[in-house]
Structure 1
Amino acid sequence: MDLSRLGAPLGPMIRVHGGFANRMYRLDTEQGSFAVKELNLADRRRSYRAEDVFRFERAAFAVGIPMPEPIAAGHGTLVHRWVEGETVPEAPVPVAYAYEIGEILARIHTLDVAWTRVPVEEPTPRDWPELATRAAATGQPWAGELASEVETFLAIAHFVDACERPGPVVLTHRDIQPWNLLARQGRPVLLDWELSGMLDLSGELGSTALSIAKGPGFDDVRPAVFHAVREGYAAAGGALPPWGPSWFVFMIGGWLGHTRWNILRCLAGVEASTGPDLALSHESVRDGLRGLPDLFGRLPELEALLR
């Protein structure tokens, strides 16, 4: 992408570390500051719908959704206006912040934006025994952990495919997590829209609410924060879907796919030129191997706690 339209640079682009899938840079020019994201197109888990996402972002920004202004989208590169704000730690957010997240989601779901038809997704991969064998053969540091959890990961894959989704399906952000949020004067700002798309409403609400209601694990889940997302959504006119395991299946399925993707990157053993650094992929694998079985085993407890 030609970045000259952004004005004369005041210095070189600066790498901003921490991305789980892509690479981010800050560019300061005479026209202001910009976030330039280099998308990982080499081994994405799904194709990137640049035109659809950019149209969706522009519509959301136009109605006042708190987010960085989308400036340009090209093959492999996204540009947004840089937004200053406080990072949101992986810890329960204030109830008022969660309530506003619910309100924002309800507003997003009313947007009338054309979206290209999406092919039916294939069944969740069940190659965990093969991956464990390859991990052991290549001496991966987490090979033993993967081998001990193969049956659990097969059970998780079955749950993801078998869980009934009650609908409706909405066009939404799909990735509201602490690391995709800022706090500006105590209020939310939504970042990283590139995974936007169609999703069962219960999956979006459950993933969002649980992500901001807990710490790094699942020992400290705040029901009041979880409920605040639902209450904000309903107060802003959103109709809540039926309660059940479908509220958690998207989070579990997404984490399962993310873990498998990082396992494949680690098995390749090459520092890729795009996407997360290899060390971060190893960290993501360890988090998935420990966190996913914990989350899956706590589903009945979470359903009861958050009902």
Structure 2
Amino acid sequence: MELSHLGVPVGPLTRIHGGFANRVYRLDTDQGSFAVKELNLLDRRRPYRVEDVFKFERAAFAAGIPMPEPVSASQDTLVHRWVEGETVPEAPVSAEYAFEIGEILARIHALDVEWTHEPTDDPTPRDWPELAQRATATGQPWADELASQVDTFLAIAHFVDTCERPGPVVLTHKDIQPWNLLVRDGRPVVLDWELSGLLDLSGELGSTALSLAKGPGFDDIEPAVFRSVLDGYLAGGGALPPSGPSWFVFMIDGWLGHTRWNIRRCLAGVEARTGPDLAVSHESVRHGICGLPDLFSRLPSLDALLL
């Protein structure tokens, strides 16, 4: 990584462990503190639009969106000013915090930024039986659980491919989840913009609101927190799309793809040079095998959150 433009280091480049997709380091120099993200280019699930994402980030920062200042971007490295703040636990946030996230989403969607890349519409992979067989043959610790859920994962893939999205399509962050947020002086800070792109509005709102309204599972969803995200979006000038399963299909699709990607990394059996640690991939697989079928089974009851 070429980092000389950040100034003279006053300490070592220090890795911050725990990332789900890339690797992050902190660098302190005579010009300040920086978050340096080494992008995983070995096995990305989709192309990374580095120039377009950086332009989008700069526009959001200039518009006052609470986020780290984007400093530079290259094909394999992103640099932002380091922001101190508290991490957001996997638990329902306060209604006030959720309301502000909704307002932030409305402001992001109102940005006038050109985006030339259309969303990809490839069929959802259906290789779950083969993955389960390979997991069993290689002795993966979660092989039995995966094998028992193959039919469910095939049903989820069918749902993802057939669920109607009502629109509109917006240019947005696409991944406002607790692990991509900080709390600074009680207010949100939005991190990790590299998945930004075009997305059906209902999918963005449903994914964000549900992730902020629940704990580790789906037994303690706070409907008032979910609704606060939507109230904030309306207060920020946004308009809500029609209710229906499309509100949750993006969350399910993203989690399905993330689980499959981590399964493939685990089946390789070696620590990749970039991306998450192998132990993190195993944890993500276990979480997906348990959590995705649970989420899918609750789709009918989740509709009640939209009323």
Structure 2 CA distance for aligned equivalents of residues 269 and 45 of structure 1: 19
Regions of 4+ moved over 4 Å: none
Structure 1 CA distance for aligned equivalents of residues 36 and 201 of structure 2: 30
Q: How much does 1:144 deviate?
A: 0.3
> 1:253 aligns to what?
253
Residue-by-residue CA offset, 1:106-125 (whole Å, 9 max, x unaligned): 00001111112236321100
> 1:162 aligns to what?
162
| 2:276 is the alignment partner of 1:284 | no
Structure 1 CA distance for aligned equivalents of residues 151 and 271 of structure 2: 30
| 2:142 is the alignment partner of 1:142 | yes
What is the DSSP-based 3-state SS (H/G/I as helix, E as strand, rest coil) of the residue aligned with 1:133? Answer: helix
Structure 1 CA distance for aligned equivalents of residues 211 and 182 of structure 2: 14
| 2:108 is the alignment partner of 1:80 | no
Q: How much does 1:56 deviate?
A: 0.1
What is the DSSP-based 3-state SS (H/G/I as helix, E as strand, rest coil) of the residue aligned with 2:199? Answer: strand
Q: In terms of mean alpha carbon deviation, does 108-117 or 210-219 score higher?
A: 108-117
Q: How much does 1:302 deviate?
A: 1.4
The 1:254/1:212 distance shift into structure 2, 3 A limit, reads same
Q: How many residues of Structure 1 are paired with residues of Structure 2 in the alignment? A: 307
Structure 2 CA distance for aligned equivalents of residues 130 and 212 of structure 1: 34
Contact 2:226 2:305 in 1 (8 A): no
Contact 2:71 2:80 in 1 (8 A): yes
Structure 2 CA distance for aligned equivalents of residues 304 and 253 of structure 1: 21
Contact 1:23 1:39 in 2 (8 A): yes
Contact 2:119 2:198 in 1 (8 A): no
> 1:71 aligns to what?
71
Contact 2:9 2:29 in 1 (8 A): yes
- Specify the code of the residue in structure 1 equivalent to 2:304: A
Equivalent residue runs for 1:230-241 within 5 Å:
230-241=230-241
Contact 1:213 1:226 in 2 (8 A): yes
Q: How much does 1:22 deviate?
A: 0.3
What is the DSSP-based 3-state SS (H/G/I as helix, E as strand, rest coil) of the residue aligned with 1:27? Answer: strand
| 2:55 is the alignment partner of 1:55 | yes
Q: In terms of mean alpha carbon deviation, does 297-306 or 96-105 score higher?
A: 297-306
- Specify the code of the residue in structure 2 equivalent to 1:41: L
Residue-by-residue CA offset, 1:263-306 (whole Å, 9 max, x unaligned): 00001111001000001100000000000000000111111244
What is the DSSP-based 3-state SS (H/G/I as helix, E as strand, rest coil) of the residue aligned with 1:80? Answer: strand
Contact 1:128 1:153 in 2 (8 A): yes
Structure 2 CA distance for aligned equivalents of residues 271 and 121 of structure 1: 31
> 1:120 aligns to what?
120
Structure 2 CA distance for aligned equivalents of residues 119 and 247 of structure 1: 17
> 2:303 aligns to what?
303
Structure 1 CA distance for aligned equivalents of residues 210 and 288 of structure 2: 16
Residue-by-residue CA offset, 1:4-57 (whole Å, 9 max, x unaligned): 111100011111011000000000000000000000000010011000000000
Q: How much does 1:98 deviate?
A: 0.3
Over the residues paired in the alignment, what is the CA RMSD in angstroms? 0.8
Any unmatched runs of 5+ in structure 2?
none
Equivalent residue runs for 1:19-34 within 5 Å:
19-34=19-34
Contact 2:119 2:197 in 1 (8 A): no
The 1:68/1:119 distance shift into structure 2, 3 A limit, reads closer
Structure 2 CA distance for aligned equivalents of residues 45 and 215 of structure 1: 27
TM-score (norm 1): 0.99
Contact 1:223 1:306 in 2 (8 A): no
Q: How much does 1:72 deviate?
A: 0.2
| 2:205 is the alignment partner of 1:205 | yes
> 1:243 aligns to what?
243
Structure 2 CA distance for aligned equivalents of residues 196 and 228 of structure 1: 23
Structure 2 CA distance for aligned equivalents of residues 174 and 84 of structure 1: 23
What is the DSSP-based 3-state SS (H/G/I as helix, E as strand, rest coil) of the residue aligned with 1:118? Answer: coil
Contact 1:17 1:24 in 2 (8 A): yes
